[in-house]
Amino acid sequence: MVLRAPRGALSGGEVRFNDRYAWEGTDYEPLRNHAPLMRYAIDGALEYWSADLALSPPRIRYRFGLDTADGRRWYGWDGLRDTAAPRGAFEFAYVREGDLPNSPEWARGATFYQVFPERFARSSPGHRRGPVDAWDAKVSNRSFLGGDLDGIVEHLDHIASLSVDGIYLTPIFSSPSSHKYDTSDYFSVDPDFGGNAALRRLVGAAHERGMRVVLDGVFNHAGAAWAPFADARRRGAASPYFDWFYWRGSGAGGLGYETWATNVATMPKLRTSEPALRELICGVGRFWVQEFGVDGWRLDVANEVDHALWRAFRSSVRGANREAFLLGEIWDWAMPWLRGDQFDSTMNYPLRQSILDFAGAGAGGAAAAGDGGALLDGIDRMRAAYPEPIQPFLYNLIGSHDEDRALTVLGGDRQRLALAIGLLYALPGIVSVYYGDEVGMAGERQEAGNRAGMIWDARRQDQRLLELYRRLGVLRRSLPALKVGGYERLSADGSVVSFARGVGKDRLAVVVNGGQSEVKRRSTQRVVERIAYGDAATDAGVLPPLSVTLYR
């Protein structure tokens, strides 16, 4: 149970409850069971109080007992009362198993590596049928460097060195573009990437190393070259596919059909409520999981597609593999998709903003660099937004193909980047590493500079940064408290913040110094790890500037 209240309005309280079928004579039995309310999270002017209830069977009638300045008041659906009367209390009919999150256990606290295939690695001799630019050329959305799936296979040792559990590939299906978000054939891997056979090789090689493979599914829109769209555009209402799209008048851009974003001619929007189209999309999802051993899907522009499709898609994919992982691209509050019937996770961009603001993002950030209270409030905002079982599966990131590189956001300051990385690895949820971030790549999203060719020349790679990523991967994999443990807010004092992670008897304190100066700290606890760029003091009582320190 979680209750939201104005900050400072409550000093404590409890939940009092009973089985909703408990009667005494012909009336409700008094609410006899108790569970204490504990302050769970803080977000600016709001705070959240929670209680853990043991229910058997899982059905309940309950009231919140709230300790206010006026004494204890009892809150139910009938408002505030002076007594814990069972009549008028809240009720939850039954905690139904089918309504609960059931994410695959392998993804809990996992580490993912995101690959943009066209720019990651070109195999020898390569598969690209057309001309290619120099690998280190300045790129745009019109550039082709010739990266392919066999190139990824050839560099799986690099990915595995980061203690990666899963690889997320941006779209790989046939498409005329380099980014592949304009699909022309959902059942064919683009020949420039090596075709379907190359995907089999990649999935097999990744599985041999204990890594899963997740594909990018683009079902909000298709490509203009997709055969059903071409047929519908040519034949109009006579086409059996005509109702798969949104046809508009010829004004306002003159396309005559709705697209992703605004008049992007190459990406006609799909009408996913059409039964035949829905069946096709569900079939695509099932096909690649069932026939190629793919381990899940990241679903593009997921909040512009109707919920009914995603429910059907989940059933179809999970029918092929009960352990398949479903990740939605949703940039803000995503609870409507995370109720156990659609996705296992969504991309946690709000946390990215909180981390980068604290680490020192440029003008336009929501908080001043090093504002510890704002950082912990941002983390608590996320914790209050999602039930506890969902949080280990949230897809946390500081880099992606849709945002400026984290190093660019932080003005090229590698110490600040190390601070952001340390926070990413220290917080609950999935960790995502965007290709190239680990070797110090920079670039803005304008003209796709954040999608440049991966730096493979070791002389041009930031080896200290790469080693930091590798150390953090090993640390997270070896410490259950860090990978799957719970979270507790401890303190914020200017630019110095602390929180705890723990599972069972294993407990870690994480202390972060987001300031520019060394901070003295009295501590007899053993330092587990000091996360900073370059050399850092090893004295347990010293917090170097722009660093994260883990204590046991």
**Which tens digit of pLDDT belongs to each residue from 139-164?**
998 999 999 999 999 999 999 999 99
Give the pairing of strands 486-493 and 430-434.
unpaired
Nearest to 378 by CA among 8, 38, 41, 51: 41
Read off the tokens for 432.
Answer: 């995502």
pLDDT value of residue 250 = 61
Confidence of residue 99 (pLDDT cuts 50, 70, 90): confident
Instruction: Please give the CATH architecture assigned to the domain spanning 2-99.
Output: Sandwich (2.60)
What's residue 448's pLDDT?
Answer: 83
Alpha helices in 77-188 (DSSP H): 149-154, 156-160
- Residue carrying the six token digits 């939940």: 15
pLDDT of 85 > 90? The answer is: yes
Q: Verify whether residue 279 is a known catalytic residue.
A: no
Render pLDDT for 467-498 as a digit per residue (tens, 0 to 9): 999 999 999 999 999 999 999 999 999 999 99
Which residues is 27 bridged to in the sheet?
A: 24
How far apart CA 477 and CA 269 sit, in angstroms, is 41
pLDDT for the residue numbered 524: 67
Contact 82, 324 (CB under 8 A): no
- What average pLDDT does the structure give for the chain? 94
pLDDT of residue 28: 85
| φ and ψ at residue 103, rounded to 5 degrees | -70, 150
Packed helices 307-320 and 275-292: angle between N→C axes, nearest 10 degrees: 30
Which pLDDT score, from 0 to 100, does residue 248 have?
86
Active site residue 300: yes
Domains 2-99 and 221-271 share a fold: no
pLDDT band at 365 (very low <50, low <70, confident <90, very high): very low
What phi, psi does 200 have (nearest 5°)? -60, -40
Task: Tell me the DSSP string of 424-449.
Answer: HHHSSSEEEEETTGGGT----TGGGG
Q: In the block, which residue shows the tokens 């670039």?
A: 443
Q: Which of 43, 150, 300, 403 is labelled catalytic?
A: 300
Q: For residue 92, is pLDDT > 50?
A: yes
Gap between the Cα atoms of 493 and 515, Å rounded: 11
The mean pLDDT of 350-366, rounded to a whole number, is 78
Asked if 531 contacts 545 with a C-beta cutoff of 8 angstroms, the reply is no
- pTM, two decimals, is 0.95
Architecture in CATH for domain 221-271:
Alpha-Beta Complex (3.90)
Confidence of residue 361 (pLDDT cuts 50, 70, 90): low
For the chain, the straight-line distance linking the first and the last C-alpha, in angstroms and rounded, comes to 30
pLDDT digits (tens, 9 = 90+) for 19-63: 999 987 778 889 999 999 999 999 889 999 999 999 999 999 999
Identify the weakest region by mean pLDDT among 22-36, 234-248, 351-365, 421-435.
351-365
pLDDT in the model for residue 370:
80
Domain chopping of the chain, boundaries: 2-99, 127-154+163-218, 221-271, 486-551
What's residue 15's pLDDT? 98
pLDDT at 253 over 70: no
Percentage of the chain beyond pLDDT 90 is: 86
Q: Which CATH number is associated with domain 486-551?
A: 2.60.40.1180
- Geometric angle at alpha carbon 195, from 139 and 199, rounded to 5°: 95
3-state secondary structure of 399: coil
Report the pLDDT value the prediction gives residue 540, as an integer from 0 to 100: 66
Say if residue 366's pLDDT is above 50. Answer: no
Biggest CA pair distance of the chain? 84
In terms of C-beta density within 10 A (0-12 exposed, 13-18 middle, 19 or more buried), how is residue 455 classed? middle
Local structure of 308: helix, strand or coil: helix
CA nearest to 160, candidates 100, 114, 206: 206
Q: Catalytic: which of 14, 47, 329, 403?
A: 329
DSSP one-letter code for 212: E
Span 296-349, pLDDT tens digits: 999 999 999 999 999 999 999 999 999 999 999 999 999 999 999 999 999 999
What is the pLDDT, as a whole number, of residue 364? Answer: 43
Residues paired with residue 103 on neighbouring β-strands, in sequence order: none
Tell me which of 160-164, 392-396, 450-454, 529-533 is least confident.
Answer: 529-533
d(CA 498, CA 358): 13
Residue 367 has pLDDT above 60, yes or no: no
21: which strand partners?
Answer: none
Phi-psi group of 8: left, alpha or beta (phi > 0 → left; psi -120 to 50 → alpha; rest → beta): left
Q: Whole-angstrom Cα distance, residue 385 to residue 336?
A: 11
- Confidence at residue 481, expressed as pLDDT on a 0 to 100 scale: 96
